[in-house]
């Protein structure tokens, strides 16, 4: 079996970049990315490659190289399915907002729709690849839908989770720590695995391509995200203790990270993790554990989310307390809205929740983010349904420049670690603010001593504040 035509259903943060890199590295394979969202596909096809719908460093260049050669974006889902030997399913799997498993389980309706569409359209044998993060044993459900047509078409289901992180998607795809491919332990399953291994082998060394059974692959993806998130909640838990005791969380983090058994990465205390994956995947893990009656396992992992919610709330509370227990009518500048730097993605961003708490306290927020639009900021707040859209609009003003956002503010809060924030003329920002000028660094990106020398009342995460 040889893969020459790939279809990817879902042109989002995962499907788009992943397929662009596959197309770049495999000029002999035709890659068609389809999505039912017409606007999104139009943006991927925009003549100006900088208007593609996802901002990722280096992505525009990859798309420019491959698009029109062997990389295509289309809304004709049926045709792409029909032509392909291998179909990646890369659609969204949000947390369920209704019914059984509400707020916990993954909502698989989009996956199921894809499976039904593939079953309806496919006329010859296909490899179907789960790219989206899915609960363990989803492949079984997909397979039963695909096999239900009775038209003799054979499907092999593979699990091939994506480990890219946003903001570094292109380098993560070009130089992955590993590629994981799970498949059926039958002869047909092994052939399908080998066919997909051959695609990645065009640029990934063989020893980094792991093959497992389907369930191990599905569970590894959830577990990897749960472990990463757990490290952040662990260091964030200690950040609160540091603020009480006089230890400095950055020093603690460095000290423990040098233990090779612990490792230095992913130990940065922050205002809380965000992104589309961590919370969703842990909730999913918790739900799965509960569904097997594993209460202790479920409680253990749920604590990671509880700690993260606490960290976000604590940051908002600290702002209120420091500003003499009231922020009503005070202007607070928000620098950053994205869930991390170098992305325009805001899903589950800590900024949204901190903003929500501060608006409840009647603060007036002045938001600036280099890549996030005002529309997106308001959409994110409206999604919480804490108040009406008009009330959110009234509480938020949006600026195209950080200097303007900070002008006349009582406090500045840094929510995202954008590099440009460290390069600002902080003296100029200070001069334009109300005094005392408070600075809450939710990412510990500024130099505390330098900020205090300017005159700021500076407060980082996990260090005793200056006042
Ligand atoms: C994550 C995983 O890293 C990736 O492997 C998986 O495929 C998808 O989920 P992503 O959510 O894109 O990727 O970004 P990541 O870099 O993991 O950051 C997640 C959140 O954790 C961000 O809000 C980030 O600011 C925060 N974070 C990360 C910290 O607060 N401290 C850290 O030390 C690292
Ligand atoms: C530990 C720390 O490793 C050491 O740095 C500190 O100075 C003292 O405490 P120790 O208790 O001697 O050292 O042994 P360690 O190798 O850490 O093992 C502790 C326990 O964890 C053992 O029961 C070990 O069997 C268990 N363990 C360790 C696991 O169950 N799984 C592992 O992957 C590692
Ligand atoms: P991710 O971060 O997992 O990539 P996104 O929400 O960014 O998630 O992207 C998922 C994409 O999948 C969306 O653009 C959505 O329109 C698309 N999608 C969902 N279901 C289908 C479907 N049945 N057919 C085609 N596209 C779909």
Contact residues of ligand 3, CB 6 A cut-off? 9-15, 34-37, 40, 77, 90-92, 110, 113-114, 132, 276
Please say whether the structural domain 278-459 has been given the CATH code 3.30.9.10.
Answer: no
Report which ligand 1 atom has the smallest distance to the Cα of 161: 7
Q: Whose CA is nearest to atom 7 of ligand 3?
A: 12
Contact residues of ligand 1, CB 6 A cut-off? 162-166, 225, 228, 232, 266-268, 270, 273-275, 277-278, 339-340
Cα distance between residue 108 and residue 97, in whole Å: 12
Q: How many CB atoms lie within 10 A of CB 409?
A: 23
Q: Which residues contact 416 (CB under 8 A, 6 or more apart)?
A: 335, 336, 337, 338, 339, 340, 341, 349, 351, 369, 443
pTM to 2 decimal places:
0.94
Per-residue confidence in pLDDT tens, the chain, 467 aa:
899 999 999 999 999 999 999 999 999 999 999 999 999 999 999 999 999 999 999 999 999 999 999 999 999 999 999 999 999 999 988 888 899 988 888 888 999 999 999 999 999 999 999 998 777 788 888 888 888 888 889 999 999 999 999 999 999 999 999 999 999 999 999 999 999 999 999 999 999 999 999 999 999 999 999 999 999 999 999 999 999 999 999 999 999 999 999 999 999 999 999 999 999 999 999 999 999 999 999 999 999 999 999 999 999 999 999 999 999 999 999 999 999 999 999 999 999 999 999 999 999 999 999 999 999 999 999 999 999 999 999 999 999 999 999 999 999 999 999 999 999 999 999 999 999 999 999 999 999 999 999 999 999 999 987 55
Q: Is 277 left (phi over 0), alpha (psi -120 to 50) or beta?
A: alpha
Q: Whose CA is nearest to atom 23 of ligand 3?
A: 114
ipTM above threshold 0.85 = yes
Report which ligand 3 atom has the smallest distance to the Cα of 16: 4
> Where do the domains of the chain lie?
5-204, 278-459
* Centroid of ligand 2 to alpha carbon of 267 (angstroms): 21
302 is in an annotated binding site: no
Do 5-204 and 278-459 fold alike per CATH?
yes
Helix (H, G, I), strand (E, B) or coil at 172: helix
Q: If you write DSSP's letter for every residue of 100-128 in order, what string do you get? A: TTTTTSB--HHHHHHHHHHHHH--S-EEE
* Centroid of ligand 3 to alpha carbon of 129 (angstroms): 15
Tell me whether residue 277 is one of the annotated catalytic residues.
yes
Cα distance between residue 165 and residue 24, in whole Å: 19
**CATH fold for domain 5-204:** Rossmann fold (3.40.50)
416 is in an annotated binding site: no
Helix (H, G, I), strand (E, B) or coil at 169: helix
Report which ligand 1 atom has the smallest distance to the Cα of 345: 12
Cα distance between residue 166 and residue 182, in whole Å: 23
């Amino acid at each position: 079996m040889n893969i020459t035509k790939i279809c990817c259903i879902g042109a989002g943060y995962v499907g788009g970049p992943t397929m662009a890199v596959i197309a770049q590295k495999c000029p002999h394979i035709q890659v068609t990315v389809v999505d039912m969202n017409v606007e999104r596909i139009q943006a991927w096809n925009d003549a100006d490659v900088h208007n593609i719908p996802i901002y990722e460093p280096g992505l525009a260049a990859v798309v420019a190289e491959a698009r029109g050669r062997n990389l295509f974006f289309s809304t004709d889902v049926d045709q792409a399915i029909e032509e392909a030997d291998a179909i990646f399913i890369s659609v969204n799997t949000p947390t369920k907002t209704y019914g059984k498993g509400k707020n916990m389980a993954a909502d698989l309706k989009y996956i199921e729709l894809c499976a039904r569409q593939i079953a309806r359209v496919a006329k010859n044998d296909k490899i179907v690849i789960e790219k989206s993060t899915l609960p363990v044993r989803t492949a079984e459900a997909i397979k039963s839908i695909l096999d239900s047509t009775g038209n003799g078409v054979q499907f092999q289901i593979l699990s091939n989770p994506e480990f890219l992180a946003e903001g570094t998607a292109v380098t993560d795809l070009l130089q992955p720590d590993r590629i994981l491919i799970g498949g059926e332990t039958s002869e047909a399953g092994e052939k399908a695995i080998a066919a997909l291994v051959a695609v990645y082998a065009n640029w990934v060394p063989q020893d980094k391509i792991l093959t497992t059974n389907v369930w191990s692959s599905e569970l590894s993806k959830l577990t990897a995200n749960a472990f990463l998130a757990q490290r952040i909640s662990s260091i964030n838990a200690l950040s609160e203790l540091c603020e009480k005791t006089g230890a400095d969380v950055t020093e603690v983090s460095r000290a423990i990270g040098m233990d090779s058994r612990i490792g230095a990465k992913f130990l940065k205390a922050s205002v809380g993790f965000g992104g589309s994956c961590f919370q969703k995947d842990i909730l999913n893990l918790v739900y799965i554990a509960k569904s097997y009656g594993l209460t202790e396992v479920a409680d253990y992992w749920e604590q990671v989310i509880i700690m993260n919610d606490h960290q976000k709330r604590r940051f908002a509370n600290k702002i209120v307390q420091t500003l003499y227990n009231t922020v009503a009518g005070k202007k607070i500048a928000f620098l950053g809205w994205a869930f991390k730097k170098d992305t325009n993605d805001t899903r589950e961003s800590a900024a949204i929740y901190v903003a929500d708490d501060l608006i409840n306290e009647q603060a007036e927020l002045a938001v600036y983010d280099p890549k996030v639009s005002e529309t997106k900021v308001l959409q994110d707040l409206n999604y919480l349904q804490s108040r009406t859209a008009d009330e959110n609009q009234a509480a938020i003003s949006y600026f195209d420049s950080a200097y303007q956002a900070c002008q006349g503010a009582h406090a500045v809060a840094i929510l995202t670690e954008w590099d440009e924030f460290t390069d600002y003329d902080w003296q100029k920002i200070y001069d334009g603010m109300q005094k005392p000028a408070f600075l809450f660094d939710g990412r510990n990106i500024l130099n505390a001593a330098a900020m205090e020398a300017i005159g700021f009342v500076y407060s980082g995460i996990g260090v005793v504040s200056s006042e």
